[in-house]
Amino acid sequence: MADSPDRNRSQSSSVLSGSALGFTLFELLVVLAIIGLVLATMPGFLIRDSDRVELESAVRSVAAGLREAQSNALVSNREQVFALDVETRRFRVAPGRPLRQLDPDLEVGFRTARSGLLAPTAGTIRFYPDGSSTGGRIRLARGSLIAAVTVDWLTGEVSIERPAPRDESERLRDG
């Protein structure tokens, strides 16, 4: 039952041969080249996705501010005002509250009731204790994407339109 020395020597030599130990230098270089090509194409995808992420973040921030103003009106039983300045890209949930800054690279459009206009580039959406509002629409764009936050005048409901490719002829200031 004991193995012969010649048999052990032939098994160990096949185990130690170059092909059984690992990869050749050529194989490693090919794999590294493929990884390099994949990583080289990634920045383009990351930049496009970053526009979407930044836009979605801004849309959620504006929607949260509008919902906060609506909740404050319902809870306090008093009218609440959401104010937006399109030029500076800042908004305020209620008078006396801190201003919130949107990304300066965003394009912002705002449509509200005539009574809510404060200036050519600024306006308000009012929320009433009964849940209604003056209504409005805030459109945000970054790169080739556009999204919107809409406030229904009757119910005060805040809804979000997810980012989608925009038509080149589309103009934000028209709301």
Q: What is the pLDDT of residue 11?
A: 53
Q: Evaluate if residue 169 carries a pLDDT over 50.
A: no
Q: pLDDT (tens digit, 9 = 90+) per residue, 83-135?
A: 999 999 999 998 888 999 999 999 999 999 998 999 989 999 999 999 999 99
DSSP assignment string, 58-109: HHHHHHHHHHHHHHHHHHHTS-EEEEEETTTTEEESSTTSPPEEPPTT-EEE
**pLDDT at res. 174:** 47
Which residues lie below 8 Å from residue 155, measured CB to CB, with a gap of 6+? 131, 132
Distance CA 134, CA 138 (A): 13
More confident residue, 66 or 5: 66
- Percent of the chain's residues with pLDDT above 70: 81
> What's the one-letter identity of residue 109?
G
For the question of whether the overall pTM of this predicted structure is more than 0.75, the answer is no
